[in-house]
Structure 1
Amino acid sequence: MTQKTASGSTRRSEGSRRAILEAALSLVGEVGYERLTIEGIAARAKVGKQTIYRWWPSKAAVLLDAFTAKADAGEFESSLPDTGDLAADLKRGLQATVDEFNDPHFQAPYRALAVAAASDAVAAEQFISRLLEPGNKVYVDRLRSAQEAGDIAAGADLRVAVDLLLGPFTHRWLMRTGELSYEFVDTLVHMVVNGLRHGA
């Protein structure tokens, strides 16, 4: 009897957790981060507010877990292809990111997390470790492979190279200074790869 009760409790807890994560994602798309509240998430998920606070310290923490749920489950690619053509491989990765960043379901929570990270040191630490660093590593690994193959300068700083590649991309998207398109990706990759090949 004890075992059955524990199993039922676990299922209910997992069901509540999924409902909370889904509620956070849907609500942030409807009301934005500033108006997102724990009370609102609890009402949408049909759970008590104390249930959320038992698992998460803030709305930013809830949203981060909700946003990274698919990535944590391994549903996103964890590496770039290595076809031997560095520019083509980088373009393929960034083109997929263009599609993601132009998807309204992606935009709302990611922008909200960026806002939270800008004003909350704890949220920033989590945002960097769970989203930015894994994403950056994908590009560092591919650039290292190209460096070992002699396709880019041996002395190139790969972390700075990734900043050169992803910085303008992210800035354009966050600040809405221009359209994120495949054409923009082509230009960006061409400039960065040429610089790396010439030891810039």
Structure 2
Amino acid sequence: MGGVKKPDPARRSERSRQAILQAARELVSEVGYAKVSVEAIAARAGVGKQTIYRWWRSKGAVIFDSFLALSEGDQGVVLPDTGDIEADLKTVMRATVAEFADPGFQAPIRALNLEIVGDPELAAQYREKLAGPVDEAKKTRLRSAQQAGQIAADADLDLALELLYAPLYQRWLLRSGPLTPQYADALVDLALKALRP
């Protein structure tokens, strides 16, 4: 056999895909969602525009996947379970607040939110691929707190998640206050007051 390696199209196309996703994230962070175009993403990634349209139907879809790729390394989402629901929720909420306060992470989230508002199909995709699985993991942890008697047995867990996350989301969306570890702890304290047996 000769020593010449045949090009591996699968590997090359995965390299192109990662370059496109990275380019989309960088551009959104640099210029904001409205100014990003498929042409700009293609130019930055070093691919043709048709390569992007082969995999994604719109600029919003590319940006969504570029955001999803940030957490692709996670082997499913599992919340800490030390047996102490207050400590575990504070750990998770502090990490969430830090993430939302991180400029590199929040720029694509803001872009994604803008796009979701006007695109019901993308909103459904977001719920199914990203928000849904994360919410299920959170509810699994809350259920184990219910079984341990730390949360009321009849608590509505979907509503419990809204109690915890909606104030954080609103503060972030409207830029109406600082996102600090103290704020994360205060949200947990208040939510647990409502949820305890």
> Which residue in the other structure is 1:87 paired with?
86
Q: Which runs of 5+ in 1 are unaligned?
A: none
Q: Which runs of 5+ in 2 are unaligned?
A: none
User: After superposition, where does 1:113-128 map in structure 2 within 5 Å?
Assistant: 113-128=112-127
TM-score (norm 1): 0.91
Deviation digits for residues 9-39 of structure 1, max 9, x if unmatched? 2222122111111110110011100111101
Q: Is the 8 A contact 1:113 1:127 kept in 2?
A: no
**2:7 is the alignment partner of 1:26:** no
> Which residue in the other structure is 2:184 paired with?
185
C-alpha separation between the residues in 1 aligned to 2:120 and 2:131?
Answer: 15
> Which residue in the other structure is 2:159 paired with?
160
User: After superposition, where does 1:7-156 map in structure 2 within 5 Å?
Assistant: 8-74=8-74, 78-156=77-155
C-alpha separation between the residues in 1 aligned to 2:183 and 2:16?
Answer: 42
C-alpha separation between the residues in 2 aligned to 1:93 and 1:29?
Answer: 25
C-alpha separation between the residues in 2 aligned to 1:86 and 1:74?
Answer: 22
C-alpha separation between the residues in 2 aligned to 1:79 and 1:170?
Answer: 21
C-alpha separation between the residues in 2 aligned to 1:166 and 1:196?
Answer: 14
Q: Kindly report the root-mean-square deviation, in angstroms, between the aligned alpha carbons of the 2 structures.
A: 1.6
Shift of 1:145: 0.5
C-alpha separation between the residues in 2 aligned to 1:10 and 1:185?
Answer: 43
Shift of 1:130: 2.0
User: Higher mean Cα deviation, 61-70 or 27-36?
Assistant: 61-70
Q: Is the 8 A contact 2:93 2:185 kept in 1?
A: no
User: Higher mean Cα deviation, 134-143 or 82-91?
Assistant: 134-143
C-alpha separation between the residues in 2 aligned to 1:20 and 1:64?
Answer: 12
Shift of 1:56: 0.4
Amino acid at match of 1:171: Q
Deviation digits for residues 151-173 of structure 1, max 9, x if unmatched? 11111111111111111111111
Q: Is the 8 A contact 2:101 2:179 kept in 1?
A: yes
After TM superposition, the runs of 4+ consecutive aligned structure 1 residues lying more than 4 A away are none
Aligned length: 194
TM-score (norm 2): 0.93
C-alpha separation between the residues in 2 aligned to 1:11 and 1:84?
Answer: 44
